[in-house]
A and B are shown apart, each in its own frame.
Chain A
Amino acid sequence: MGEIVLNIENAGKSRAALQVLDGVSLNAATGQRIALLGHNGAGKSTLMKAVLGLTPLSAGRISVAGSAPGSAAARAATAYLPEAVAFHKSLTGREQLTLFARLADCPVAQVAGYLDRVGLSEAADRRIGTYSKGMRQRLGLAQVLLGRPKLALLDEPTSGLDPISRHELYAIIDEMAELGTAVLIASHTLTEVEARTDRIAILRAGRLVADDTLENLTLRAGLPTRLRIRANGDAAGRIVDATGGTRVNGMSVDLLCAPERKMTELRRLSAMGDVVADIEMHPPRLEDLYRHYSTGENH
């Protein structure tokens, strides 16, 4: 594993009576892509703002590339895509990006290349006021690429993007990670996160309830596999009696079973003969995993 770029230790933030962040510890090493999941209001954006030094913490400490959040060194090492980017309407995309390049101390000549990279070269000299939401989001992404940051904080980067653009976005994120940027992505789109990140961190009401690879989270959750059993004729009642499942529509029965009980149940069902017409297996999806960790439900 690479060098630790972001180190969050016991971060806490209270706002009035509300504990927005509570004892959050999280590390990110170079080249890692980490998904930050959690319900609305769980504290994802607040955590990012704390890392940027925009929001002071009430407890714990954060270091970005060895410096305090908000210090010049930390800011130079960090790129940020806010959850609702709004640039100045009367500027063109190129002018806006040129300002950021100047502030990031990145050669202004590279601006055109970055605009091209996010597919905005044609719209570069039009006013941002005329951009679509997705185009603004792309401009936001272009400024993340400036100056090869060590850490990129992306707050819901795919919001407003069409499916193709989402794909391109993740390709860009992969590219950044390959070049050594640690990328933290707050998101609600689980399917993308599932395929495109190395680690998943889940916040629940300000507490970090999970921080691991998808495989380990799946193992640890021990979520049941759902068997959907279709009955022959009106035998559904008998199956319910025999297995303790729940009847879904007149014909079928749903049965939840723990990973290690799965084969036993299948044997028992096949022993019931032609009462059973069909069995579909549904292993837990990321959505179930997410529900498990983010709500604290334990089925």
Chain B
Amino acid sequence: MIRRILAVAMIEATITRRNRWLLMATVIMVLFAVALTLAGSAPTGTLGVNMLTVSVASMTTLSVYLAPLLALMMAFDSIAGEAERGGLGLLLSYPVSRAEILLGKFVAHLSALAFAMIVGFGVAGGLAAVQGGVDAASLVALVRLILTSILLGAAFLALGYMLSALAGSATGAAGLSAGLWMVFVVLYDLGLLGAVVFDAGGWFTQTLFPWALAANPADAFRLWNVAASDGVAMATGLSGAASALPDWVAPTSLLLWPVLALLLARYFFERLEP
């Protein structure tokens, strides 16, 4: 089983390298991370936190958008596209299970995503260190940002596979992925915000809102990074919701999402007739 997963993963890794996905994702991450670090170097003194902390805070905000986007762009074509080209039927004529194919792709894509995250955020961290604005706490925050970004990417990779398996065509999967991104990253927050405003500090805002926030992987990612670091919390202004929840909630949500989404992806993949 491991052998077949690795065989698929190796091929997918080659494809990711060949079609310059890896390069593109890494360049995007580096550009954004460096730009945010440099831009964040100005107001450091006023907040009383060091340069890397500010940069991690703004990179957290960036990653909420970028990690799901990159993951979905990598994932959306991977099942529907292959089914359309006829390659999936051939692949499935070999003694390899759909779960193995899915895991093989996941391993390859997640490695590519992790590489881009580590390089991008790492370069930004190095830049901040060179400029002297680094301490132990901010380094921990940086490592946490990298790891949680990879987790967030994992969740959206798996969600992307799910959409790819149920869309029926690559273009359909692309449309669904764009919709999913809008919902999780933009509309969900807007909806909650609207509800909070309408509720005017009542039961919903007090009790349900933090949990609803944590149920969304993108917000769980934000909450985890914010709750774990006072500096980042100050810089993002999300500390209210973060402090209303027990510490374990956001990490659990972010850790469960990739698993849940992979199971869903597998369920729909099994039902697909190539």
Q: How far is the CA of A286 from the CA of B273 in the complex (A)?
A: 35
Given A49-B89, A84-B86, A91 contacting B95 (CB threshold 8 A): no
- Interface presence of A47 (CB below 8 A): no
- Interface presence of A54 (CB below 8 A): yes
- Interface presence of A72 (CB below 8 A): yes
Instruction: Point out the residues of chain A lying under 8 angstroms from B18, CB to CB.
Output: 90-91, 127
Instruction: Point out the residues of chain A lying under 8 angstroms from B96, CB to CB.
Output: 103
- Name the prevailing secondary structure of the A interface residues: mixed
| Stretch among A73-81, A163-171, A233-241 lining the B interface | A73-81
* A54:B274 contact, CB within 8 angstroms: yes
* A85:B90 contact, CB within 8 angstroms: yes
Q: How far apart are A275's CB and chain B's nearest CB, in angstroms?
A: 60
Instruction: Point out the residues of chain B lying under 8 angstroms from A55, CB to CB.
Output: 273
| A140, closest chain B residue (CB) | B90
- Interface presence of B87 (CB below 8 A): yes
Instruction: Point out the residues of chain A lying under 8 angstroms from B90, CB to CB.
Output: 80, 82, 85, 140, 143
* A99:B11 contact, CB within 8 angstroms: yes
Contacting A at CB under 8 A, from B3-26, are: 3-4, 7-8, 10-11, 14-15, 18-19
Given A91-B18, A95-B14, A103-B7, A82 contacting B95 (CB threshold 8 A): no
| A86, closest chain B residue (CB) | B85
Cross-chain contact of A78 among B8, B91, B93, B273 (Cβ < 8 A) = B93
| B88, closest chain A residue (CB) | A54
- Interface presence of A100 (CB below 8 A): yes
* B89:A80 contact, CB within 8 angstroms: yes
Cross-chain contact of A102 among B7, B85, B274 (Cβ < 8 A) = B7
Contacting A at CB under 8 A, from B224-272, are: none
* A80:B93 contact, CB within 8 angstroms: yes
Question: A96-116 interface mask toward B, CB cutoff 8 Å, 1 = contact, 0 = none?
Answer: 100110111100000000000
Q: How far apart are B92's CB and chain A's nearest CB, in angstroms?
A: 6
- Name the prevailing secondary structure of the B interface residues: helix
Q: How far is the CA of A75 from the CA of B92 in the complex (A)?
A: 8
Q: How far apart are A110's CB and chain B's nearest CB, in angstroms?
A: 15
* B86:A82 contact, CB within 8 angstroms: yes
Instruction: Point out the residues of chain A lying under 8 angstroms from B7, CB to CB.
Output: 99, 102-103
Given A90-B15, A91-B11, A95-B14, A103 contacting B94 (CB threshold 8 A): yes
Count chain A residues whose beta carbon lies closer than 8 angstroms to a beta carbon of B: 31
Cross-chain contact of A79 among B10, B11, B85, B93 (Cβ < 8 A) = B93
Q: How far apart are B159's CB and chain A's nearest CB, in angstroms?
A: 23
Q: How far apart are A12's CB and chain B's nearest CB, in angstroms?
A: 16
Given A75-B93, A91-B15, A104-B95, A86 contacting B273 (CB threshold 8 A): no
Instruction: Point out the residues of chain A lying under 8 angstroms from B87, CB to CB.
Output: 85-88
* A52:B19 contact, CB within 8 angstroms: no
Q: How far is the CA of A100 from the CA of B92 in the complex (A)?
A: 11
Q: How far is the CA of A75 from the CA of B274 in the complex (A)?
A: 15
Q: How far apart are A240's CB and chain B's nearest CB, in angstroms?
A: 53
Q: How far apart are A118's CB and chain B's nearest CB, in angstroms?
A: 16
* A102:B93 contact, CB within 8 angstroms: no
Given A54-B273, A91-B14, A91-B18, A72 contacting B95 (CB threshold 8 A): yes
Q: How far is the CA of A134 from the CA of B221 in the complex (A)?
A: 50
Given A91-B14, A99-B11, A102-B4, A52 contacting B89 (CB threshold 8 A): yes
Instruction: Point out the residues of chain A lying under 8 angstroms from B86, CB to CB.
Output: 82-86
Instruction: Point out the residues of chain B lying under 8 angstroms from A87, CB to CB.
Output: 87
Q: How far is the CA of A54 from the CA of B85 in the complex (A)?
A: 15
Q: How far apart are A225's CB and chain B's nearest CB, in angstroms?
A: 43
| A96, closest chain B residue (CB) | B11
* A82:B15 contact, CB within 8 angstroms: no
Q: How far is the CA of A87 from the CA of B82 in the complex (A)?
A: 9
Instruction: Point out the residues of chain A lying under 8 angstroms from B89, CB to CB.
Output: 49, 52, 54, 80, 82
Q: How far is the CA of A87 from the CA of B87 in the complex (A)?
A: 6
Instruction: Point out the residues of chain B lying under 8 angstroms from A104, CB to CB.
Output: 94-95
Cross-chain contact of A52 among B4, B85, B93 (Cβ < 8 A) = B93
**Most A C-beta atoms less than 10 A away, residue of B10, B18, B86, B89:** B89
Q: How far is the CA of A88 from the CA of B19 in the complex (A)?
A: 11
Q: How far is the CA of A105 from the CA of B8 in the complex (A)?
A: 13
| A80, closest chain B residue (CB) | B93
Instruction: Point out the residues of chain B lying under 8 angstroms from A103, CB to CB.
Output: 4, 7-8, 91, 94-96
Instruction: Point out the residues of chain B lying under 8 angstroms from A105, CB to CB.
Output: 95
Contacting B at CB under 8 A, from A125-181, are: 127, 140, 143
Q: How far apart are A95's CB and chain B's nearest CB, in angstroms?
A: 6
Instruction: Point out the residues of chain A lying under 8 angstroms from B91, CB to CB.
Output: 103
* B15:A100 contact, CB within 8 angstroms: no
Q: How far is the CA of A102 from the CA of B101 in the complex (A)?
A: 13
| A76, closest chain B residue (CB) | B95
Which residues of A line the B interface, CB within 8 A? 49, 52, 54-56, 72, 75-76, 78-80, 82-88, 90-91, 95-96, 99-100, 102-105, 127, 140, 143
Given contacts A85-B90, A90-B19, 16 further A-B contacts (CB under 8 A): A49-B89, A75-B92, A78-B93, A80-B89, A82-B90, A88-B87, A90-B15, A91-B15, A91-B18, A95-B14, A99-B11, A103-B4, A103-B95, A103-B96, A140-B90, A143-B90
- Nearest 7 A-B pairs (CB), nearest first? A90-B18, A86-B85, A80-B93, A102-B7, A103-B94, A75-B95, A99-B11
